[in-house]
Amino acid sequence: MAEINFTYLPGDGIGPEVGAASIAVLKATASKFGHSLNIEEHLIGGAAIDAGLKPLPDESFESAKRTGAMLLGAVGGPKWDHLKGQDRPELGSLLPLRKNLNLYANIRPCKPYPALIDRAPLKRERLEGVDFIVMRELTGGIYFGDKGRDDQGAFDMCRYSEAEVRRIANKAFDLAMTRRKKVTSVDKSNVLETSRLWRETVIAVAADYPEVELEHLLIDAMTMHMLTRAQDFDVILTENMFGDILTDEASVLCGSMGVIPSASLSDGGMGMYEPIHGSAPDIAGQGKANPLAMILSAAWMLRLSFGLDAEADIIETAVSAALEQGQTTGDLGGNLSTSQVGEWIADYVQR
């Protein structure tokens, strides 16, 4: 019997709804395998602000640090757009969590489900066989550099150290060794000095992995190649801002942003797991939100933070079955509510 102890951060908008569905699935999984489940639920983002707290309350951070595993719904929304800087839900919670817990490696998969291929805007032949993972550096670059305004404009500094590039590159090559042994490193080395350092360091790391093929692409070219030869990629390695852009582009290949989980990892077992979609306040509270990406994020948590591969596999199998059988929310052509999708997958897990 395993002890599954984690911090649950429902967040804002549809976060609590998709989160509740994922918790139902986790409870079913723990029951099936005889594990204990200890959930520490805390506020974050706009929900914390509305409760009179800062975006990342101390108790939320301490819980995350203690458990080492976080399941996050969504953060932010137009309601708090009037706030500035660190008072905003996203800047005041997600970035400090990533930085202070050293969650420097963000991974997002792109492997279209057969049931969703025809929902993607590209032709079927461009999508069949696509299976890659984007490894995005998450705690450096322009998002974390000095920023500000003066009387003539505004500035955002982009800076990377060799050590920051080396550690994310090592993670990408380690991952490639478990897959098809290819890394595509994406930069803008024809213009940016940080990208020249990035490329030099990645080449140096590659020398330690002679079995892995290394390809370099410029970010502008990569946005084209991802749509025209997506089958060629295995592990895509890139810096923070480029990774943010590419992972949203990759979601189009999967037919829906609502089926893509993500993991933000440090060294060891520390990890934060969340769907790539936002808080979607326009449908919050209506039971319309698709919970599959959140449920898959929970599966990744079981696998990567707790080493529970069989448990993660059964959840992923259940999600595939739900898609094949049309047991989905309206955005994917089904007629179930958010909670009903969670219940269906929970029931499937316990069969």
Catalytic position from the list 113, 188, 209, 234: 188
Beta-carbon contacts of 69 under 8 Å, excluding residues fewer than 6 positions away, are 5, 6, 7, 269, 270, 271, 272, 273, 301, 305, 306
- Per the annotation, the verdict on 220 as an active-site residue is yes
Q: Is 111 a catalytic residue?
A: no
Which of 8, 104, 113, 143 does the annotation list as catalytic?
143
Active site residue 8: no
Q: Catalytic pick from 118, 174, 220, 309?
A: 220
Could you identify the residue written with the tokens 């998002």? 143
Give residue for tokens 């380690």.
174
Distance, CA of 257 to CA of 335 (rounded, Å): 18
Whole-angstrom distance, CA of residue 264 vs CA of residue 187: 21
Handedness of CA 329, 335, 338, 343 (dihedral sign): negative
Residue 187 region by backbone torsions, left for phi larger than 0, else alpha for psi between -120 and 50, else beta: beta
Separation CA 4–CA 303 (nearest Å): 11
Catalytic status, residue 248:
yes
Residues 6+ apart with CB under 8 A from 12: 45, 46, 47, 73, 74, 75, 76, 77, 89, 279, 281
Q: What is each CA distance from 204 to 136, 176, 262, 307, in whole angstroms?
A: 19, 16, 28, 31
Residues 6+ apart with CB under 8 A from 145: 156, 157, 158, 159
User: Which of 111, 131, 232, 244 does the annotation list as catalytic?
Assistant: 244
The residues with which 72 forms a beta bridge, in sequence order, are 9
- Tell me the Cα Rg of the chain: 20
| Residue 59 and residue 332 in contact, taking contact as beta carbons nearer than 8 Å | no
Catalytic residues: 143, 188, 220, 244, 248
